[in-house]
Structure 1
Amino acid sequence: MQPDSTLFTPILIASLIVFCWSMYRRLGLVALGRPDGRGVNLLRGLREMLLYAFAQKRVVTRPFGVNHLVIFWSFMILLAANIEFMLAGVFPSLSLERLPAAIHLPFMGLCDLASLATLVAVGAALVRRTLAPPYPEGKSLEAYAILILVAVHMLGFFGVNGAAIALGRQAAAQAMPVSSAVAAMLGTLGPDEIETVGLIAWWTHAVALLAFITVLIPYSKHLHLFTAVANCFLRQPAGPGIPAREVFEEGNVFGTGQADRFSRADLLDSFACAKCGRCQDVCPAAATGKPLNPRRLMEDIRLNLLANGPLLKRGGAATVPLIGGEGEGSVAEEAIWSCTSCGACMAACPVLVEHLPKVVGMRRHLVEMETRFPEELLNLFENMEGRSNPWGIAPTERTKWTSPMEVKPFEAGKTEYLLYVGCAGSFDSRSKQVTVALAQILDRAGVSWGILGKDEKCCGDSLRRLGNEFVFDRMARENVEIFRERGVTRVITQCPHCFTTLRNDYRQYGLELEVIPHAEFIQGLMADGKLSLEGEYAGLGTVVFHDSCYLGRHNGVYEAPREVIRRVTGDPPAELGRNREKSFCCGAGGGRMWMEEQLGSRINHSRIDEALRAAPDTICVSCPFCMTMLEDGLKDRQAGSTRVRDIAEVVAEGLRFS
């Protein structure tokens, strides 16, 4: 039953050479990317790798993910058996049977059961792939080939060991129930026939194994067996999608206009993508008929690298355009501008692919290198550059909201907290009501706070996510200088976009601030007894809470706003179907606040329809963008009896009636 090693040895050597060469040719293209300066923290990297790659934390968040976990760990268990199988084909005297029986028997029994579990899991995957694929293109030849080859591999294992047991050559027979059952089925055959069956099974097992090595791993999505592990190890601890800084010097190229302008981590991402489709399931752009599909985005980046990489490596020019070309390997401009930077794709990805920085990089190329962007953004860019706010209103108008009350300027050494009001809180008529409510809360609690007044500038979030890094960079430098001159160290924000930019993005400029979103600050005041609420305010009726993407997914703040509502009303808010890390975007992030939705259906309509199914009297939010989008959605749906309230307004109302 053991084949002639003189035949198998050159085949194995050739297969391993092909595997190494293929992996080098493919993964070597990652080196074309730019260094991104991300360091390696060994302990953190090992923890993330074990948690996400091996324990598959995100994979098992969906029921069918357990099926993948079974296949993955079965292969891990069978790894030693497969290595022994190949070595024994070259050196027949090598065998796991040399191990002590106390180790050999349990191990072979585990391999037997793991092979059965894999067969069952593969069968379930084939049924699902056929009847309910994760996405329409999921019924691919590649997917079926992988599953069928896995099944053939397992059947070969049972054939080899079943024949060995039937011939009395398997010392671990008593520990291998499935292979023993196969041996029983072979019992009607003679020794020579069993020998033939075993030899056929051996070569079937070998061919399947070598096909994985030479073809499927290097040239299919199965490459993620290696790249996903590396991806998880290199995961960055910063919030999702914090773009890298650019250096503005003469002669520099900005943004990502071709494959080698991505970072190495970006290119590794494209190979780590397993095409599971979870990102497109949660993407608000994809869900509302926009051209953006995060899964296809990663696939196009990979295909573009494979098409252009060898040419770029030799110093040639790319032949397949990264942006705006036709067919696979090119990303449509409409897709690039459809992203809301909500981070849902990144939160859902089982292997920690970072989609958002790729979008921002391509936006930067279009804005900074080609001056090509949606026409409606022209006014925004001019307003930001000229008057440091999206509406182009004079900076002297920033303090108009203070007319009903006395507000002091921030003074270093005297004022504890800077209230960073933000553009919406300063200029938007609806959001100014939230600013007043927050100011009343701070005064009621006896907080030492002040504002920058007309000297406050926009944080630049929309500029950066839209790809106008040049103006953002200037604005960020000016803000950092102001904060340092004024001695600002502790900041309260009412806008999650200001919060995440000051807290995360400005660290790239050496500014370390204690930035506190108003939800957490108010919750802290309540916990410390500085705000007395009885939890009996009934003026809100039935309350549901909508999670802001930038407060929740981007920064992990989920409980504080819910606790604030509970302390005001006495009950926790009702939950929408998609909440916390699975919350659905309002549609305003990534600079989409300043753009009309010309394609597909409106994202805010999808979210407001979900909210209205809960029949709320009040939709509570913690973001001015969310407030605008949801109020517009209520008007479009003519749901006038439902109100949108920021949590600061809820608390201020509760204090007035307490």
Structure 2
Amino acid sequence: MTPNPTIFIPLLLVSLGIFAWGCWRRLSLVAVGTGEDRFDNPGRRMVEMLRYAFGQKRVVARPFGINHAVIFWSFLVLLIANGEFLLDGVFPAVALDKLPAGIYHPLMLLLDIVSLLALVAVCVAAVRRVASPPYPEARTVEAFVILGLIAILMLAYFGLHGAEIALGNGAAARFMPVSSVVAGLLQASPLAFSLQSAAWFCWWAHAVALLLFMAYLPNSKHLHILTAIPNCFFRRLEQPNTQPREEFAVGKKFGVARVDRFSWKDLLDSLSCTECGRCQNACPAGITGKPLNPRGIIHEIKVNLLGNGHHLKNGLKPELPLIGEGGGSCPEGAIWSCTTCGACMEACPVFIEHVPKIVQMRRHLVEEDVRFPEELLNLFENMEGRSNPWGIAPTERTKWTVTLDVKPYEAGKTEYLFYVGCAGSFDSRNKHVTVALAQLLDRAGVSWGVLGKDEKCCGDGVRRLGNEYLFDKMAKENVELFKQKGITKVVTQCPHCFSTLKNDYRQYGLELEVIHHAELLRDLVKEGRLKLDTAAALGATVFHDSCYLGRHNDVYDAPRDVIRAATGSAPADMERNRNNAFCCGAGGGRMWMEEHTGKRINLERVEEALRQKPDTICVSCPYCMTMFEDGLKDVKAENVRVRDVAEVLAEGLRA
């Protein structure tokens, strides 16, 4: 049953025109971004796109993801039915029933079942939006309009085919169980005497809903239906655990203060956001009442791009500021609240990279506007003057060696450089971890040495805080020193040093074999070089995943293996663990900043740990050590001990 094409064709052309114009108007703005190579390794990119975009791997990994996946897969299958519907409206002679029965009948069965699944999933999504939205702002008119249009499409589909079956025109009626049920209901209703009119009404209801959907799609947040798939194709193939390097030259702009200084992929990110709220619900800053909302940051970048797009395409200055207050601007408080833990990026189903964008805006604030939290001034001065956060004299770096026979690193003689790091060298509590690790390396017969007073800070904190100029200086000095010393293998106890030496320094041409002490200790136990006859008596233990060891570098099992070897049993996990672990609050330079708003992040994590009723909280990071010990003091739970995995293993050996 097809109404007159002379009415439908003009409506279709208008809808297609609005759709094409909307797509061009928005997608063409991506070109105002700077260049970035995301075309390498196309084969792997295609596989990853199939896995994450079409396979919905990240979507179904979280609660309620199955429902969204059903809508997505139904949308793909029903492209066949909707494509045929549009063709049928223009060329009535073109119809699926012209296909061979062996293809037509199974296809109609599939479309009937999938349409029912889509209708049910849409109803569930609508109820969820009303009763329990993923985040408070999720109840939007736009969301209900889209869900409503999809529901109308499904209902009209069943109404149309049900009426046709009731009229005796359903060639595949026995293969369309849902439509057949609808046909029975129509025959038993007052509409039985006007089935032709019912079919006509449902056809036009389907047509109007489909044409409105097409026209509305590129002009709404649901543009992500078109952009999310290529965004998965252009994702970073490696972990997004580092930042792009800046080149310093006279007249060059640093950081990002205008939306067109982001790369084209950053701008594609902003158009690909599904606004699912997963990043928002994972962000430790947002959860504890800070002004940061990762979803909001991406949304404001999109609003800024759309608002400034015409000016930027014509070489004019933008009207909306990227950093500031108001619509289309990212608040400074949000930019400085980020711990760079990466939870937002881990949760995002379409691989939006929130953290690099935030760091690039920090770079502008630090390097061009010299506008940053006051407490960072001392940090930057100490780093530049004495290459450590406290400004302590470099000669103090070796004080932890007083009771040990520690040798300097010698190229060709020493296997590992033990890169102690600032916390392991200067912080009184973390010196105990340094000593424990040194003793374990000696006991296992590992060949290792240190740089002593020549060791400098790796620069992790200043880079994540946006002081790329200082980081560049520190990195170049370290790279020159490492090459001069002939260093190729490094063991660290700090995940921030580990990640920086392993990932960031590659941008400076330094390829190192970097291993975290948890990985090395695990290997030494496995090889029998560290033998434990008696388990360490630590009581009930719970383990906290370091963001920079876990999410940023995929090291999850090694510290747990060390604890299991030392205590005889695996540590308990907190509710949020491994790639979903909650940050301690110290990353991204936040270790050196105060929390003036909301609840302290470390308190949130400490309270989560205490729900396991542990005697010992095990960590693998000096920052985490400090944050947990401070948090335990704040909640008056000093009876609970905090131990690094090296200390746990050392206690087991002493036992």
TM-score per shorter chain, which class?
Answer: over 0.9
Deviates more, 1:587-596 or 1:402-411: 402-411
Q: What is the alpha-carbon root mean square deviation over aligned residues?
A: 1.3
Equivalents in 1 of 2:412, 2:628: separation in Å? 40
Partner of 1:586: 584
Q: Is the 2:38–2:235 Cα contact (8 Å) retained in structure 1?
A: no
| Residues 345-383 of structure 1, C-alpha deviations (whole Å, 9 max, x = no match) | 111111111110111011001001100000100011111
Partner of 1:332: 331
Secondary structure of 2:57's partner? coil
Deviation at 1:86, TM superposition (A): 0.4
Equivalents in 1 of 2:564, 2:15: separation in Å? 63
| Residues 523-572 of structure 1, C-alpha deviations (whole Å, 9 max, x = no match) | 0000011000135221x121111110111111111111111011111011
Q: Is the 1:272–1:351 Cα contact (8 Å) retained in structure 2?
A: yes
1:218 equivalent in alignment to 2:218:
yes
TM-score by structure 1 length?
0.98
Secondary structure of 2:236's partner? coil
| Residues 51-73 of structure 1, C-alpha deviations (whole Å, 9 max, x = no match) | 11111111112231111111111
> Cα 1:267–1:336, aligned 2, differ >3 Å: closer, same or farther?
same
Equivalents in 2 of 1:38, 1:101: separation in Å? 45
| Residues 189-247 of structure 1, C-alpha deviations (whole Å, 9 max, x = no match) | 788822221111111111111111111x2122211111111111111123234211111
Equivalents in 1 of 2:237, 2:91: separation in Å? 47
Number of aligned positions between the proteins: 654
Partner of 2:633: 635
Partner of 2:194: 193
Q: Is the 2:376–2:592 Cα contact (8 Å) retained in structure 1?
A: yes
Equivalents in 1 of 2:135, 2:337: separation in Å? 20
Q: Is the 1:558–1:580 Cα contact (8 Å) retained in structure 2?
A: yes
1:342 equivalent in alignment to 2:341:
yes
| Residues 22-62 of structure 1, C-alpha deviations (whole Å, 9 max, x = no match) | 10110111111111233332122112111111111111122
Equivalents in 2 of 1:602, 1:190: separation in Å? 64
Partner of 2:47: 47
Secondary structure of 1:645's partner? strand
Partner of 1:128: 128
Partner of 1:365: 364
- Paired residue type of 2:435: V
Equivalents in 1 of 2:249, 2:467: separation in Å? 16
Equivalents in 1 of 2:200, 2:127: separation in Å? 31
- Paired residue type of 1:570: G
Secondary structure of 1:491's partner? strand
Equivalents in 1 of 2:491, 2:614: separation in Å? 29
- Paired residue type of 1:478: E
| Residues 272-314 of structure 1, C-alpha deviations (whole Å, 9 max, x = no match) | 1111111111111011100001111111111111111111111
Deviation at 1:158, TM superposition (A): 1.0
Deviation at 1:156, TM superposition (A): 1.2
Secondary structure of 2:130's partner? helix
Deviation at 1:511, TM superposition (A): 1.5
Partner of 1:207: 208
Partner of 2:481: 482
- Paired residue type of 2:354: H
Partner of 1:148: 148
- Paired residue type of 1:638: K
Equivalents in 2 of 1:49, 1:448: separation in Å? 44
Q: Is the 2:416–2:448 Cα contact (8 Å) retained in structure 1?
A: yes
Secondary structure of 2:418's partner? strand
Deviates more, 1:122-131 or 1:231-240: 231-240
Equivalents in 2 of 1:289, 1:552: separation in Å? 25
Equivalents in 2 of 1:585, 1:148: separation in Å? 39
Equivalents in 2 of 1:455, 1:101: separation in Å? 80
| Residues 110-148 of structure 1, C-alpha deviations (whole Å, 9 max, x = no match) | 101111111111111111111111111111101111111
Q: Is the 2:191–2:198 Cα contact (8 Å) retained in structure 1?
A: no
Q: Is the 1:167–1:191 Cα contact (8 Å) retained in structure 2?
A: no
Q: Is the 1:239–1:504 Cα contact (8 Å) retained in structure 2?
A: no
Q: Is the 1:420–1:492 Cα contact (8 Å) retained in structure 2?
A: yes
Deviates more, 1:462-471 or 1:157-166: 157-166
Q: Please list, as runs of the form range in 1=range in 2, the aligned pairs for 1:97-496 lying within 5 A after superposition.
A: 97-187=97-187, 193-215=194-216, 217-325=217-325, 327-496=326-495
Partner of 1:534: 533
Partner of 2:19: 19
Equivalents in 1 of 2:330, 2:240: separation in Å? 21
Deviation at 1:74, TM superposition (A): 0.9
Equivalents in 2 of 1:496, 1:239: separation in Å? 15
Secondary structure of 1:424's partner? helix
Secondary structure of 1:58's partner? helix
Equivalents in 1 of 2:311, 2:172: separation in Å? 54
Deviation at 1:618, TM superposition (A): 0.9
> Cα 1:639–1:119, aligned 2, differ >3 Å: closer, same or farther?
same
1:609 equivalent in alignment to 2:604:
no
Secondary structure of 1:442's partner? helix
Q: Is the 2:241–2:553 Cα contact (8 Å) retained in structure 1?
A: no
TM-score by structure 2 length?
0.98
Equivalents in 2 of 1:82, 1:408: separation in Å? 74
Q: Please list, as runs of the form range in 1=range in 2, the aligned pairs for 1:543-554 lying within 5 A after superposition.
A: 543-554=541-552
- Paired residue type of 1:370: D
Equivalents in 2 of 1:412, 1:332: separation in Å? 49
Partner of 2:29: 29
- Paired residue type of 2:258: Q
Secondary structure of 1:516's partner? strand
- Paired residue type of 1:625: Y
Secondary structure of 1:337's partner? helix
Equivalents in 2 of 1:207, 1:426: separation in Å? 70
Q: Is the 1:238–1:504 Cα contact (8 Å) retained in structure 2?
A: no
- Paired residue type of 1:624: P
Q: Is the 2:283–2:343 Cα contact (8 Å) retained in structure 1?
A: yes
Q: Is the 1:323–1:332 Cα contact (8 Å) retained in structure 2?
A: yes
Equivalents in 1 of 2:63, 2:364: separation in Å? 40
Secondary structure of 2:642's partner? strand
Secondary structure of 1:419's partner? strand
Deviation at 1:167, TM superposition (A): 2.3
Equivalents in 2 of 1:112, 1:33: separation in Å? 44
Deviation at 1:106, TM superposition (A): 0.7
Secondary structure of 2:617's partner? strand
Deviation at 1:573, TM superposition (A): 0.7
Partner of 1:562: 560
> Cα 1:40–1:213, aligned 2, differ >3 Å: closer, same or farther?
farther
Equivalents in 2 of 1:385, 1:198: separation in Å? 77
Equivalents in 1 of 2:114, 2:534: separation in Å? 55
Q: Is the 1:259–1:309 Cα contact (8 Å) retained in structure 2?
A: no
Equivalents in 1 of 2:39, 2:379: separation in Å? 36
- Paired residue type of 1:532: K
Secondary structure of 1:418's partner? strand
> Cα 1:324–1:656, aligned 2, differ >3 Å: closer, same or farther?
same
Deviation at 1:10, TM superposition (A): 2.0
Deviates more, 1:236-245 or 1:462-471: 236-245
- Paired residue type of 1:394: A
Q: Is the 1:292–1:338 Cα contact (8 Å) retained in structure 2?
A: yes
- Paired residue type of 1:253: K
Q: Is the 1:535–1:567 Cα contact (8 Å) retained in structure 2?
A: no
Equivalents in 1 of 2:83, 2:197: separation in Å? 23
Equivalents in 2 of 1:579, 1:165: separation in Å? 54
Equivalents in 1 of 2:251, 2:34: separation in Å? 17
| Residues 398-443 of structure 1, C-alpha deviations (whole Å, 9 max, x = no match) | 1111111111111111111111111111111111111111110100
Equivalents in 2 of 1:127, 1:222: separation in Å? 19
